[in-house]
Amino acid sequence: MADPTATVADFPGRAELESLLAGLVPPEWVAAVHRGDEGEIESLRGTIDRGAVVLALGRAGWIAPHYAREYGGRGLAREEAQRALTLLGLWDVPHAPLGSGVPLAAPTIDQWSDEDTKQHLLPPLLSGAERWCQLFSEPGAGSDMASLSTTAQRDGDEWVVNGQKVWTTYGHLAERAMLLARTDPDQPKHKGITYFGLDMRSPGVEVRPLINMAGQREFNEVYLTDVRVPDIDRISPVGEGWAAAVTTLSAERHALSGLARKKRKASDEILGGKPYVDVERLAIARGVTRDPLGRQRLMAAYIEHRVLTMSIQRSRARLAAGHPPGSEGSLTKIAKAAANQRLQEVAMHVLGADATAWVQGDTEAEEWITQFLRTRANSIEGGTSEIQRNIIGERVLGLPREPDPYKGVDWRSVPR
């Protein structure tokens, strides 16, 4: 088989990157990359230290090569950086820190922060030294996030933060957080918010686990008690945190990525669930494909999977060609959540009675059920599907917004 890396056009620093990669993985991995053996790479995944690989790539500027060198990138043009990320995808090594720092925090800091804050926050983020989480949602501010009540009061060159956040993905592992806090309660709810880059190691930050029904810890609730935040960690101008948050919430559609084929792995993807190819393999092994109803369910899942894949590819191709984002990005979240949930339901039909009881110690059966349970959150996390439909109706289709009797009223006066 031809070497797949040979199809990637050259870019500045390519030889340096390939030399670095060859030193980070075992020789068998290098050989598997050049012959395109994805199965062999997957079998060798346990032989590398994920964190060490990410840090090595980050220190060399390859996590986000399109950023300037002083911020921790390589200063490459976007097309050159995309080729570098494509090559990293073909090597199939971890090349981004866990969390939402690179796709969400970095573009927001780059757009909204002053130079001192950029120099302070971006290098450790883009080097992989600091993992980021998101402190946006609150127990009383989920769908209506702008009604948040966590406060930040100015005290000289610092801000004192008090409040509670919830559904913080990987908050127990993160060193920093994107934090929205109310700095002026006498302004309308969207106007009195400021955006910070909170150090999660600060005194007064308490992270409590939220264990999901699959027994996994991804989410947390975070309590903030008299947490002191230096003003240099303020990402947005005072009072402009909501506008900066909109940048964060839309940043994924602008995030630069490579064009290598993305492989779905159940264990390390936040959506959870098994990929279609695994469900099909299970169905064949159990003889379900000989049943007309079983085939119909499987083919419906396959069609949905292919349509969604092509929609995502079309959206990426438009961005790569320099076109502005279209409505595809707005639709993908709903479609992906629904398709993934239905696919796992097909898997449960295939498993039959084994989905409710299995032999103790059968880790494969347990993994199928764990992944099914995890996917029930897909239509809730990251904005419920109902809220996403409202967004599509208003922002894509142009339908009228629901009336808000408190629009323009200062936050302090709005009943809660």
Residue 386 has pLDDT above 70, yes or no: yes
Give the span between the Cα atoms of 202 and 405, in whole angstroms.
39
Residue 269 has pLDDT above 50, yes or no: no
Give the span between the Cα atoms of 45 and 55, in whole angstroms.
17
| Structure tokens, 230 | 């230096």
Quick one: pLDDT at residue 253?
A: 45
pLDDT tens sequence across 4-20: 999 999 999 999 999 99
More reliable by pLDDT, 213 or 91: 91
**Average pLDDT of the residues in 297-304:** 94
Q: Are 309 and 408 in contact (CB under 8 A)?
A: no
Q: Quickly count: other Cβ atoms within 10 Å of residue 17's Cβ.
A: 21
More reliable by pLDDT, 331 or 161: 161
* Residues with a known catalytic role: 252
Q: Are 240 and 192 in contact (CB under 8 A)?
A: no
Establish how many alpha carbons lie within 13 A of residue 247's alpha carbon, considering only the half-sphere containing its beta carbon. Answer: 19
pLDDT tens sequence across 120-151: 999 999 999 999 999 999 999 987 889 999 99
Confidence band, pLDDT 50/70/90 cuts, at residue 268: very low
Task: Provide the residue type at 20 as one letter.
Answer: L
Topology of the domain comprising 266-382 = Butyryl-CoA Dehydrogenase, subunit A; domain 3 (1.20.140)
Give the span between the Cα atoms of 90 and 406, in whole angstroms.
52
What are residue 164's DSSP bridge partners? 223
| Structure tokens, 20 | 């670095």
Give the span between the Cα atoms of 149 and 412, in whole angstroms.
10
Q: Quickly count: other Cβ atoms within 10 Å of residue 170's Cβ.
A: 18
Residue-averaged pLDDT of the chain: 90
Give the span between the Cα atoms of 288 and 292, in whole angstroms.
8
Give the span between the Cα atoms of 253 and 255, in whole angstroms.
6
| Structure tokens, 221 | 């609730």
pLDDT more than 70, % of the chain: 93
Quick one: pLDDT at residue 328?
A: 66
3 state DSSP class of 219: strand
Alpha carbon of 357 to those of 278, 279, 368, 400: distances in Å? Answer: 20, 19, 12, 49
**Average pLDDT of the residues in 343-355:** 93
pLDDT tens sequence across 183-240: 999 999 999 999 999 999 999 999 999 998 888 898 999 999 999 999 999 999 999 9
Residue 258 has pLDDT above 70, yes or no: no
Residue 119 has pLDDT above 60, yes or no: yes
Quick one: pLDDT at residue 320?
A: 66
Lowest mean pLDDT across 33-42, 152-161, 180-189:
33-42
* CATH class of the region 131-253: mainly beta
> What φ, ψ does residue 16 adopt, rounded to 5°?
-65, -45
Quick one: pLDDT at residue 406?
A: 86
Lowest mean pLDDT across 227-231, 254-258, 323-327:
254-258
How do the domains of the chain map onto residue ranges? Answer: 4-96, 131-253, 266-382
Give the span between the Cα atoms of 21 and 30, in whole angstroms.
8
Confidence band, pLDDT 50/70/90 cuts, at residue 249: confident
| Total residue length of the chain | 416
Query: Which residue has 């402190």 as its token pair?
Result: 135
Quick one: pLDDT at residue 264?
A: 47
| Structure tokens, 237 | 């101008």
| Structure tokens, 205 | 């930050």
Q: Are 176 and 198 in contact (CB under 8 A)?
A: yes
What are residue 211's DSSP bridge partners? 217
**Average pLDDT of the residues in 44-67:** 95
The predicted model scores a pTM of 0.85
Alpha carbon of 397 to those of 326, 387, 389: distances in Å? Answer: 12, 14, 10
